[in-house]
Amino acid sequence: STGYDAHLRVWRGDAAGGGLTDYTVEVNEGEVVLDVVHRLQATQAPDLAVRWNCKAGKCGSCSAEINGRPRLMCMTRMSVFARDETLTITPMRTFPVVRDLVTDVEFNYTKAREIPSFAAPEGLGPGEYRMRQEDVARSQEFRKCIECFLCQDVCHVVRDHEENKEAFAGPRFLMRMAELDMHPLDEAERRGLDRARAVAEEHGLGLCNVTKCCTEVCPESIRITDNALIPMKERAADRRHDPLVWLGSRIRRR
């Protein structure tokens, strides 16, 4: 058989506290970390809490940290680790623990709600929108997001700085604002909402110092930093340097 026994160290506990527990679990050819966690649950730890749905890298539920790196458990092959390596599996650090590997990701939904929604063109009903591919190409990449929140978890601005959470939307939502800003039919600006300015002044874009950790962990390989965050920083800077645009937006705001 090609199977072997892996050494797992899994964080067990809840909001009140917890710690790492050691387990030895069988691994079979071709398995991913989530398979092994499920076997652990089935054979030794029936009360182990773990969140998952699709097992295909599409629902974004199985986010955790493996040896300190944020990853989807269902998309991480056991074969990327040495057989004698201890796998330390911990819940996402940036969000409060509910139990074991399950965290409370409400922070992200709060941030999502703070984003002014798509301003649909007046006079057009659903199904009547017409856009050219070349106009949507720039932001299309951002729609691949599965909301796993691994980028939100890894970003140092909030990872060890609870105090920054209020002021910082995080890479996923700064990217969402870039997506809306690049949307060819979004009429926010015409109605007095300057998205580039808002993302800088109200959602904490300035706290991002382009470390690109978000981009590195994204399971959808979205180029969050280069294609969303940096262009938004440039747009916000242009606003500041163009006094007429600045004045215009100030007057419209009142």
Using rule CB under 6 A, residue 212 touches ligand F3S: yes
Binding stretches for ligand FES (CB under 6 A): 52-55, 57-62, 72, 74
3-state secondary structure of 90: strand
Q: Which does 222 bind (CB under 5 to 8 A by kind): ligand SF4, ligand F3S, ligand FES, none?
A: ligand SF4
Using rule CB under 6 A, residue 169 touches ligand F3S: no
Choice from 61, 63, 76, 225 touching ligand F3S (CB under 6 A): 225
Q: Count Cβ atoms within 10 A of the Cβ of residue 194 and give its class: 0-12 exposed, 13-18 middle, 19 or more buried.
A: buried
CA atoms of 122 and 97, how far apart (whole Å): 44
Asked if residue 218 lies in contact with residue 205, where contact means CB atoms within 8 angstroms, the answer is: no
Using rule CB under 6 A, residue 171 touches ligand F3S: yes
Binding stretches for ligand SF4 (CB under 6 A): 145-151, 172, 217-220, 222, 224
The torsion angle over the Cα atoms of residues 237, 240, 242 and 246, rounded to 10 degrees, is 130
Choice from 54, 124, 131, 210 touching ligand F3S (CB under 6 A): 210
Q: Helix axis angle, 171-182 relative to 230-241, nearest 10°?
A: 60
For residue 18, count other CB atoms closer than 10 A to its CB: 15
- CB closer to ligand F3S out of 25 and 218: 218
Please identify, among the stretches 60-68, 81-89, 111-119, 211-219, the one whose residues bind ligand F3S according to the rule CB under 6 A.
211-219
List interacting residues with ligand F3S (CB under 6 A).
155, 157, 171, 208-214, 225, 229
